[in-house]
Chains A and B, each alone.
Chain A
Amino acid sequence: MTKYLIKRVLLALLSIFLICMITFFLMNAVPGGPFSSEKAVSPQVMAALEARFNLDKPLWQQFVMYMGNILHGDFGISMKTGREIAVTLKSCFSISAKLGGSALIVALFFGVIFGCVAALYRNRVPDRIIVFMTTLFTAMPSFVLATLLLLVFCIQLKWFPVWDASNKSYLLPVIALAAYPTAYITRLTKTAMLDALSQDYIRTARAKGVPMVWVIFKHALRNALIPVITYLGPELAYILTGSLVIENIFTIGGLGQQFVQSINNRDYSMIMGTTIFLAIIMVFCNLLSDILYKVVDPRIKLES
């Protein structure tokens, strides 16, 4: 377990390092570099700026310094707004975290429940309804669903305001973000549950005289949840990237909107900061879900 843990953490660190490197050098490949702007700047100011941001040093040295700063939580300064990127990220993150976290929990909760129901009522009416819904929602991109929800509930029915940061207005974006992962988890849980129910140990449990309800909840579900846990990482990645568009559609001022805005503004230092920040979150959550997976499944503990 310790060996696995160390290996997995090292891999995560390597990934983060690679992402930082890719981001940094890609951004520096843009003509003019991350600190160019359309406005004409006098050569003196430019030189001062370059000295301030160490742009006069060789690229690799800049990279080392940039990495050092990130380790201290310093993402530099936005070239467009002049504000500290770390501060902007922090304020945006709380909104995105609430949105994404809710979507994550909603998807997990309903996905597992629907999946179990579908498995237990296999080929009967509840299963057919659930299968129909999951098929539909796995084929619907989040931005389509979000725009449709906006159209129907905000514009036509006027049940919800578009966005006013109240808890109520989180409902539609959360639905739009959670729909696909919910459908996916439902399918995953259903197949895992059916698989678990056909295993020999289920027969053993029934032969011991365990009542059916307990067979399902104690013996089958625990095993069926293992593949669901492995999906947590990809689910989070989906929600994070999904929130890029969802936040724009509902005009939520989170990380996603910030990111898209900085792309449209060509605010390179901001793009760089946001990418690295999002990537770190993703890698970190992947790491967590991998470790959780090992904890839940005792079989793999001993293997490296």
Chain B
Amino acid sequence: MSEINMPKKNLLSMQIDPAKFEPASEDEKRQADVMSESTSFFRDGMRKLMKNPLAVGSIIALVLIILLILIAPKIVPYGYEEIIKVAGSKDKTITNLAPFAWSEKEQALIASGTKLFPHIMGTDSLGRDYFIRVIYGTRVSLTVGLFASILVLIIGVLYGSISGYRGGRTDMIMMRIVDIIYSLPDVLIIILLSVVLNQTLNKSNPIVKLLGTNMVAIFIVFGLLYWVGMARLVRGEVLKIKNNEYFLAAKATGASSWHIIKTHVIPNCISVIIITTALQIPSSIFTESFLSFMGMGVQAPMPSLGSLANNARAGLQSYPWQLIFPAMMIVIIVLAFNLLGDGLRDAFDPKLRR
């Protein structure tokens, strides 16, 4: 390619500039080839998540609620089981106050110049500050939801990955067990178990004392029954991973089973696990509030959102806000977790959409 032959016929209407027929440099070529920015799986997912206003809103709402339940008990001068006494004496008019209302004695105190902390959500039928009860109720519901989900996570992931990893007969037997557990009516068994445990558990046991027999029942049932969904999902993922070449390669190099599970299996199904857990939390909260509403949840005087809603039924006609506050709290928490779970799913695993 010594010199450039000019076109012999000027057939094209344009003027041809010989300089344009110089070979293009690599840089110039690269500029013409505008590629989309390449991102890692995690970064891409986070970017999508942060672009989802509902998911971001949910994260903010959940952070605010968590801050609230951590800080409020330090600021509000009332205890959740404390029947409020005004100036050291009992006050009959302090029951069932409306939000931000004062009892007669309190009004007198305020008139004399004392500063009192307002009853943000009023008081309940025993004269306890309702705001702090709702805060503690939220604490209980969130904690139960969280711990139950962690329990589900651990058992489900272990069971599912072992079943999928071992395959063959082990897998078949383990999955039959899952099938059977899956067909058991969970809520009925929880109810049954709390009835029985109520009678049989040693109430002086510190754990039982702390949680109450019903909570122990809930955790036992979550540990026994609720993990099957997670186990099925994880098993499915593991089976998919097992068909990949890198899995074979790891096996061929003689890596130990535990090593393979740890470095290849779990990281590859982590998105499924996270999403399922995020969606498990609201469902655990649902179950807890349902049981508490039936009077089978946490032991009084410890409140939970469900038991608060249940107690409010008696005075529904006169004090509807006693229902509305805990009910709204449940709806907000469950909504936030649901939206966050959906957002995570859309961002990290669009195929999981069911």
Q: Which residues of A are interface residues toward B (Cβ below 8 A)? A: 11-12, 14-15, 18-19, 22-23, 26-27, 29-31, 135-136, 138-141, 143-144, 147-148, 150-151, 155, 188, 191, 195, 227, 237, 240-241, 244-245, 248-249, 259-260, 263-264, 266, 271, 275, 278-279, 282-283, 286
Contacts and interface: CB of A to CB of B under 8 A. Distances in A.
Contacts of B126: none
Contact of A31 (B180, B200, B296, B317): B200
A227 B353 CA distance: 12
A231 B334 CA distance: 21
A19 B184 contact: yes
Given A31-B199, A151-B316, A227 B185 contact: no
A12 B183 contact: yes
B348 interface: no
Nearest to A138: B338
Contact of B188 (A139, A140, A143, A241): A241
B309 A147 contact: yes
A7 B313 CA distance: 47
Contacts of A279: 184-185, 188
A26 B354 contact: no
Q: Which 4 residue pairs are nearest across A and B when measured between Cβ atoms?
A: A139-B335, A241-B187, A139-B334, A15-B183
B78 interface: no
A237 B185 contact: yes
B218 to A, nearest CB: 14
Contacts of B338: 135, 138-139
B195 A263 contact: yes
A135 B58 CA distance: 13
Nearest to B289: A141
A232 to B, nearest CB: 14
B184 A15 contact: yes
Nearest to B293: A143
User: B interface, by DSSP: helix, strand, loop or mixed?
Assistant: helix
Nearest to A242: B290
A154 B179 CA distance: 43
Given A151-B316, A195-B353, A227-B354, 16 more contacts: A22-B189, A26-B196, A29-B196, A30-B195, A30-B200, A138-B334, A138-B338, A139-B334, A141-B289, A143-B290, A144-B327, A244-B294, A266-B195, A271-B192, A275-B188, A279-B184
Contacts of A264: 295
A203 B77 CA distance: 67
A114 to B, nearest CB: 17
A114 B195 CA distance: 40
B323 interface: yes
Contacts of A31: 199-200
Contact of A27 (B196, B331, B353): B196
Contacts of B137: none
Nearest to A280: B185
Contacts of A188: 354
Interface string B315-333: 0110010010001001100
Interface in B141-194: 179-180, 183-189, 191-193
24 contacts: A14-B180, A15-B180, A19-B184, A19-B185, A19-B188, A26-B192, A29-B196, A31-B200, A135-B339, A139-B335, A139-B338, A143-B306, A143-B309, A144-B309, A148-B323, A188-B354, A195-B353, A227-B354, A245-B293, A245-B294, A263-B195, A271-B192, A275-B191, A282-B185
A18 B188 contact: no
A271 B195 contact: yes
B303 interface: no
B187 A22 contact: no
Given A135-B335, A249-B313, A29 B200 contact: yes
A15 B306 CA distance: 30
A191 B353 contact: yes
Contacts of B223: none
A147 B323 contact: yes
Which of A14, A23, A26, A264 is packed against the most chain B CB atoms within 10 Å? A26
A121 to B, nearest CB: 18
A219 B201 CA distance: 57
Contacts of B189: 19, 22
A150 B316 contact: yes
Given A11-B179, A19-B184, A245-B294, A144 B192 contact: no
Contact of A141 (B188, B317, B320, B330): B330
A260 B309 contact: no
Contacts of B122: none
Contacts of A15: 180, 183-184
Interface in B63-105: none
Given A29-B196, A141-B289, A18 B180 contact: yes
B185 A191 contact: no
Contact of A147 (B186, B192, B316): B316
Contacts of A147: 309, 312-313, 316, 323, 327
B286 A141 contact: yes
